[in-house]
Chain A
Amino acid sequence: MNEYIIELADLTKQYGNYTAVDHLNLTIRKGEIFGLLGPNGAGKSTTILMMLGLTEPTSGRVRVCNWDATRYPIEVKKRVGYLPEDVGFYEDYTGFENIVYTAQLNGIGRGEAAQRAQQLLNRVGLADAAHKKAGKYSRGMRQRLGLADVLIKNPEVIILDEPTLGIDPKGVQEFLSLIVQLSREEGLTVLLSSHHLEQIQAICDRVGLFVKGKLLAEGNVHTLAGNLFTSEPLTIEARITIPVTSVVTVNDLQRMLQDIEGVLTVAIQGNTFQIDCARDVTSQIARKVIMAGADLNYLHKKEYGLEDIYHHYFKEYESYA
């Protein structure tokens, strides 16, 4: 048994001269929630289409659930649920009828399909709207119906292409927690593409950064930050107020902080000190400040979020390109 449920090896897709996906190597383990992160047009959707055998790679190999997706797309599609970007439904059919149809296309008999459809609609919170025409559904409801539609075939992997596009923030949160819950309960592997950092950060175990058909980096958010900023100085922010009675001046303090081993620069903006340092010297700074008789209001080591990682990688890539 292979522990990887999705394996992409040297995957390339070219449209004429344009390379949409460029020698992509990626593996995803069973039960993982993987986030594919990148700006629009980075080749995320093309990669997903190749995983489902919906388009042929120019070169390279895709294996999903131990099947070659290019040669045996049917086997792959039996096991993989795919929610396309901006999914559509037959508008004059009810939500219930729509997913019963999908179930029947997957070879599930009518009675069983109806039973499962009802269960899933309850699960995604569409029980009340099950017999409303899908044309009357709101955007968020449509996405949830899409999730039910994807799950009705009892998949091992679900692939969601920009699933949160166009839903309001509350809806996004509900939708994402629904995905996490389903994934944990059913042991599903989830592949999620998005260009929204916070959302990916909130739910994904691992993230792949994708720009212009290349995977720039992959790993969880912390390792990504670690890889990225090891060469970079650490930034510590401190707000310090100096009492009027105190003998030390701002400049004295600056000099004292500068003297700590490892500190590179100290910049001052009003009460806030920006301290760049090579190592983590937070405790020394705190000690110095207190001993100098100043008041330390707050001390904050700047953590790099996905946003910073994102911008950093893209900037680097852009300058490199």
Chain B
Amino acid sequence: MKAMHDVIAIADPIMMKAKTIITTVRNTTTPLRAEKRIHPFWVIVHKEIADHVRSWRFNILVVLIALTCFGSLYTSLTALTRGSKPDAVTDAFLFLKLFTLTDGTLPSFTVFISFLGPLLGISLGFDAINSEQNRGTLSRLVAQPIHRDYVINAKFTAALIVISVMLFTLSLLVTGIGLIRIGIPPTPEEFWRILCFVLISICYVAFWLNLSILFSIRFRQPATAALCGIAVWLFFTIFYQLLVNMIAKNMEPSIMATSEQVIRYQQFIFNLLRIVPSQLFNEATTTLLMPSVRSLSPLTMEQVYGTIPSPLPLGQSLLVVWPQLTGLAAATVLCFALSYASFMRREIRSR
């Protein structure tokens, strides 16, 4: 009996070896073609992009934004053709007017983006995590051999890709249609400015996207998260201005105040306004799309005296709005860091 046992014991490793050989042979022969393995992170990104593109929500938003976009293009075109003779300075950047000019019936393209961008960001992110949790898919997802941060990173990346593609397409479409209508091609500088404008818009929408992802982690109900996002957005667009106006009225320096005091006061009010991401966005885009804008803070007469009203080169314009850009990026990163931290520490249970 013992001998037999030993034989089995010896035979066992041999069997094991045979088995592994068989399995390796099987593994090398069965794949039909050279299988391309996608990294799990990109698997999630693919799925998320597919989900966005197929969703009603996103398609409605695309239609809405495309409509306003072409509406504003139409008004800027009519304004351009009907408008008074432009002076020599702005004439050089005629093409950029497509994005900023309006005949008064509809706001310009940039204003639309600053208004609808938040809506786009919020709507792509407000149910990112909580809907997965409510459907019971989150616990299944994190039980797969992936790092947990892949889930939010991939969701953010996917939404960002969708937003980028959409904004680039729209801007290039506007550029293309404008090109056909007005017949003047953009200069390389104008083209770079448009490109910068699109990049800033993406960053701006990314901020709202991150904010809504943060809410989607915090709140179990997607409706609550969406409402929170919209509340923040409304607060910043409507009530914050009101609040700052009230503060400004109360702090108004007397007529006897020195110019230094007045400047300090103005600066303070500006800085208060700049807490709002949409303010940062507006300042950045106007400077980029209107090269004649030279400064975003109050200038004294001495500073302006003797300047030649010429447009700034792109590098200088970027330098003027650099603080705005960093502010916007910082707000985005802050939201992301907050959502990252709260998601990583969370215990994920089923439903």
A and B: bona fide binding partners: yes
- Give A residues with C-beta under 8 Å from B: 45, 49, 52, 54-55, 74-75, 77-78, 81-82, 84-92, 101-102, 104-112, 146, 149, 153, 161
Residues of the A chain whose Cβ atoms lie less than 8 Å from the Cβ of B144:
77, 102, 105-106, 153
The number of residues on chain B lying at the interface, defined by a beta carbon within 8 Å of a beta carbon of chain A, is: 30
Residues of the A chain whose Cβ atoms lie less than 8 Å from the Cβ of B351:
85-86, 88
Q: A54-B348, A84-B143 are in contact. Are A105 and B43 (CB under 8 A)?
A: yes
Q: Cβ of A74 and Cβ of B147 under 8 Å apart?
A: yes
When each residue 321-351 of chain B gets 1 if its CB lies under 8 Å from chain A and 0 otherwise, what string results?
A: 0000000000000000000000000011111
**Please, could you name 24 A-B residue pairs with CB atoms under 8 Å apart, sorted by A?**
A45-B350, A49-B347, A52-B143, A77-B146, A84-B349, A85-B351, A87-B136, A87-B140, A88-B140, A88-B350, A89-B136, A89-B140, A101-B43, A102-B140, A105-B43, A105-B146, A107-B37, A109-B35, A109-B36, A109-B37, A110-B35, A110-B38, A112-B30, A153-B145
Query: Does B44 lie at the interface of the complex (its beta carbon under 8 Å from any beta carbon of A)?
Result: yes
Determine how close the nearest CB of chain B comes to the CB of A273; give it in whole angstroms.
49
Q: Cβ of A84 and Cβ of B136 under 8 Å apart?
A: yes
Q: Cβ of B347 and Cβ of A104 under 8 Å apart?
A: no
Q: Which of B32, B43, B137 contacts A104 (CB 8 A)?
A: B43
Q: Cβ of B349 and Cβ of A111 under 8 Å apart?
A: no
Query: Does B313 lie at the interface of the complex (its beta carbon under 8 Å from any beta carbon of A)?
Result: no
When each residue 114-148 of chain B gets 1 if its CB lies under 8 Å from chain A and 0 otherwise, what string results?
A: 00000000000000000000011101111111110
Q: Cβ of A88 and Cβ of B43 under 8 Å apart?
A: no
Rounded to whole angstroms, the CA-CA distance of A147 and B36 in the bound complex is 26
Rounded to whole angstroms, the CA-CA distance of A87 and B142 in the bound complex is 13
When A and B form their complex, which 6 residue pairs have the shortest distance between CB atoms, in order from nearest?
Answer: A88-B136, A109-B35, A84-B350, A82-B143, A77-B145, A84-B139
Q: Cβ of A45 and Cβ of B349 under 8 Å apart?
A: yes
Rounded to whole angstroms, the CA-CA distance of A87 and B137 in the bound complex is 7
Rounded to whole angstroms, the CA-CA distance of A102 and B33 in the bound complex is 21
Q: Cβ of A88 and Cβ of B349 under 8 Å apart?
A: no
Rounded to whole angstroms, the CA-CA distance of A106 and B147 in the bound complex is 12
Rounded to whole angstroms, the CA-CA distance of A321 and B141 in the bound complex is 39
Determine how close the nearest CB of chain B comes to the CB of A189; give it in whole angstroms.
16
Query: Does B47 lie at the interface of the complex (its beta carbon under 8 Å from any beta carbon of A)?
Result: yes
Query: Does B31 lie at the interface of the complex (its beta carbon under 8 Å from any beta carbon of A)?
Result: yes
Question: Max chain B CB contacts within 10 Å: which of A78, A85, A146?
Answer: A85
Q: A54-B142, A74-B145 are in contact. Are A87 and B350 (CB under 8 A)?
A: yes
Question: Max chain A CB contacts within 10 Å: which of B35, B135, B140?
Answer: B140
Determine how close the nearest CB of chain A comes to the CB of B27; give it in whole angstroms.
10
Query: Does B40 lie at the interface of the complex (its beta carbon under 8 Å from any beta carbon of A)?
Result: yes
Smallest Cβ-Cβ distance to B38: which chain A residue: A104
Smallest Cβ-Cβ distance to B143: which chain A residue: A82
Q: Cβ of B35 and Cβ of A86 under 8 Å apart?
A: no
Q: Cβ of B35 and Cβ of A111 under 8 Å apart?
A: yes
Rounded to whole angstroms, the CA-CA distance of A84 and B40 in the bound complex is 21
Residues of the A chain whose Cβ atoms lie less than 8 Å from the Cβ of B32:
111
- Give B residues with C-beta under 8 Å from A: 30-33, 35-38, 40, 43-44, 47, 54, 135-137, 139-147, 347-351
Q: A77-B145, A84-B140, A84-B143 are in contact. Are A111 and B33 (CB under 8 A)?
A: yes
Determine how close the nearest CB of chain B comes to the CB of A279; give it in whole angstroms.
36
Determine how close the nearest CB of chain B comes to the CB of A109; give it in whole angstroms.
3
Rounded to whole angstroms, the CA-CA distance of A90 and B137 in the bound complex is 7
Determine how close the nearest CB of chain A comes to the CB of B189; give it in whole angstroms.
45
Q: Cβ of B350 and Cβ of A86 under 8 Å apart?
A: yes
Rounded to whole angstroms, the CA-CA distance of A89 and B135 in the bound complex is 7
Determine how close the nearest CB of chain B comes to the CB of A76; give it in whole angstroms.
8
Determine how close the nearest CB of chain B comes to the CB of A136; give it in whole angstroms.
14
Residues of the B chain whose Cβ atoms lie less than 8 Å from the Cβ of A107:
37, 40, 145
Residues of the A chain whose Cβ atoms lie less than 8 Å from the Cβ of B54:
92
Rounded to whole angstroms, the CA-CA distance of A52 and B140 in the bound complex is 12
Smallest Cβ-Cβ distance to A82: which chain B residue: B143
Q: Cβ of B137 and Cβ of A88 under 8 Å apart?
A: yes
Q: Which of B31, B40, B137 contacts A111 (CB 8 A)?
A: B31
Residues of the B chain whose Cβ atoms lie less than 8 Å from the Cβ of A111:
31-33, 35
Q: Cβ of A104 and Cβ of B350 under 8 Å apart?
A: no
Residues of the A chain whose Cβ atoms lie less than 8 Å from the Cβ of B31:
109, 111-112
Residues of the B chain whose Cβ atoms lie less than 8 Å from the Cβ of A146:
140
Q: Cβ of B37 and Cβ of A161 under 8 Å apart?
A: no
Rounded to whole angstroms, the CA-CA distance of A198 and B343 in the bound complex is 39
Q: Which of A88, A104, A109, A110 contacts B135 (CB 8 A)?
A: A88
Rounded to whole angstroms, the CA-CA distance of A49 and B346 in the bound complex is 12
Determine how close the nearest CB of chain B comes to the CB of A283; give it in whole angstroms.
36
Smallest Cβ-Cβ distance to B132: which chain A residue: A88
Rounded to whole angstroms, the CA-CA distance of A102 and B47 in the bound complex is 11
Smallest Cβ-Cβ distance to A13: which chain B residue: B347
Rounded to whole angstroms, the CA-CA distance of A149 and B137 in the bound complex is 12
Q: Cβ of B349 and Cβ of A49 under 8 Å apart?
A: yes
Question: Max chain A CB contacts within 10 Å: which of B137, B143, B144?
Answer: B143
Residues of the B chain whose Cβ atoms lie less than 8 Å from the Cβ of A77:
143-146
Residues of the A chain whose Cβ atoms lie less than 8 Å from the Cβ of B347:
49, 54-55
Q: Cβ of B44 and Cβ of A105 under 8 Å apart?
A: yes
Rounded to whole angstroms, the CA-CA distance of A205 and B146 in the bound complex is 32
Determine how close the nearest CB of chain B comes to the CB of A107; give it in whole angstroms.
6
Smallest Cβ-Cβ distance to B146: which chain A residue: A105
Rounded to whole angstroms, the CA-CA distance of A77 and B36 in the bound complex is 22
Q: A45-B349, A88-B140 are in contact. Are A74 and B35 (CB under 8 A)?
A: no
Question: Max chain B CB contacts within 10 Å: which of A55, A92, A102, A109?
Answer: A109
Rounded to whole angstroms, the CA-CA distance of A49 and B144 in the bound complex is 13
Rounded to whole angstroms, the CA-CA distance of A107 and B47 in the bound complex is 15
Rounded to whole angstroms, the CA-CA distance of A89 and B132 in the bound complex is 9
Residues of the B chain whose Cβ atoms lie less than 8 Å from the Cβ of A85:
350-351
Residues of the A chain whose Cβ atoms lie less than 8 Å from the Cβ of B350:
45, 84-88, 161
